[in-house]
């Protein structure tokens, strides 16, 4: 079992169809690492509050981002790395956003895949502080995967959503 930096303990859950459970030192609750969506979903309208809004999770998985995205590169970058089979977050935009920045904050290298009404986008933070996709966004439901460059690596992250440029 891989250790996740910043977490106190890890244990295996047998017979539950679950890969592992992780104990968070700050709140003392178990978080489950599986190929199912395990983090928050959010609905946003322009001028949402609080801005920025943060969603938290643990990145990584065993699926190639290219396989999930169905392509090797997008306008926002190459589709590199590995994610879980299902998205980590679902974001529903209630109406058109003139500007929205979706950025991954992590102490380790992360990648991001977003699929939604306007298309599919990949982002890798190798040349910047964090994986980020910013610009105009159409209304609708977006699926977001946060991954790592190597398969089966799991690192904590925050997903920052902001309208501030």
52 and 25: one domain? no
Token pair belonging to 82: 């590995």
What is the domain extent for residue 127? 35-162
55 and 93: one domain? yes
98 and 21: one domain? no
Q: How far apart are CA 30 and CA 10, in angstroms?
A: 9
136 and 99: one domain? yes
58 and 110: one domain? yes
26 and 86: one domain? no
106 and 135: one domain? yes
pLDDT of residue 9: 27
19 and 70: one domain? no
Sheet strands side by side (includes 132-137): 53-59, 155-162, 97-105, 132-137
26 and 94: one domain? no
CB 57 within 8 A of CB 157: yes
Specify the residue for token string 């609750």.
Answer: 29
Domain count, the chain: 2
Low-confidence ranges of the chain (pLDDT < 50): 1-34, 36-37
CATH code, domain carrying 138? 2.60.120.380
Specify the residue for token string 């106190």.
Answer: 8
11 and 57: one domain? no
Q: How far apart are CA 163 and CA 76, in angstroms?
A: 18
84 and 150: one domain? yes
From the number of C-beta atoms within 10 Å of its C-beta (0-12, 13-18, 19+), residue 38 rates as middle
87 and 143: one domain? yes
């Amino acid at each position: 079992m891989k250790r996740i930096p910043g977490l106190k303990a890890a244990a295996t859950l047998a017979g539950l169809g679950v890969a592992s459970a992780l104990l968070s030192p700050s709140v003392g609750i178990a978080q489950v690492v599986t190929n199912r969506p395990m983090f928050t979903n959010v609905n946003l309208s322009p001028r949402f509050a609080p801005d920025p809004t943060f969603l938290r999770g643990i990145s990584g998985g065993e699926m190639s981002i290219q396989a999930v995205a169905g392509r090797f590169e997008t306008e926002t970058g190459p589709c590199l790395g590995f994610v879980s089979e299902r998205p980590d977050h679902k974001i529903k935009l209630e109406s058109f956003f003139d500007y929205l920045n979706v950025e991954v904050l992590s102490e380790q290298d992360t990648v991001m895949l977003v699929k939604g009404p306007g298309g599919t986008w990949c982002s890798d933070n190798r040349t910047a502080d964090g994986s980020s996709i910013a610009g105009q966004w159409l209304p609708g439901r977006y699926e977001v995967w946060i991954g790592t460059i190597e398969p089966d690596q799991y690192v904590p992250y925050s997903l920052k959503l902001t309208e501030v440029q």
